[in-house]
Amino acid sequence: MRRRLLATLALLALLGAVPAAAGEERPSVAELEGELICPTCRTTLAESNAPIAQRMRVIIEQRIRAGDTKSEIKDRMVQNFGPGVLAAPSREGFDLLAWLVPLAGLGLGAVAVGLLAHRWSRGRQHDEEEPAPDRNGRTPLDPELERQLDRELRLE
């Protein structure tokens, strides 16, 4: 079961890498607009109408026509406007935590849900085992309770 899950996750990761690699060599303006932030209004370029955002779009179009890759265009934008222009944090150094902490939280949540589901599916655990039902499907009484019932029935 674990192997099947790991194989499925690996396949999904590989499938996600193919479009990313294609976009690296021939990026589009729309693709980069979602990955860069306007320094003035702090929204993505796709959402911003600020003059600086319009100028950034022109630069992106020029760099695409010049044959730059997505990484080269983003690097140029970081040189011109600083690292705050990137919509997603880098995947190195301290910024790596921004990627790992949510994944770790999801993993821990999945484990907790799995453990709770397993515990729930096993049913309640009793300190004492219940006696097995007799052939009529009735559970026998506790011996002490049965003696008390007999005493009370004799009094009637």
Q: What is the pLDDT of residues 71-103, one digit of tens each?
A: 899 989 888 888 888 887 666 677 677 777 888
| pLDDT at 105 > cutoff 50 | yes
**Which residue segments constitute the domains of the chain, with CATH numbers given?**
19-86 (1.10.8.640)
The CA–CA distances, whole Å, from 43 to 18, 27, 69, 91 equal 28, 20, 23, 21
SS3 36: strand
Residues 97, 101, 103, 105, Cα dihedral to 10°: 180
Q: Is the pTM of this model over 0.85?
A: no
The tokens for 39 are 């320094």
Judge whether 62 and 74 are in contact, CB under 8 Å: no
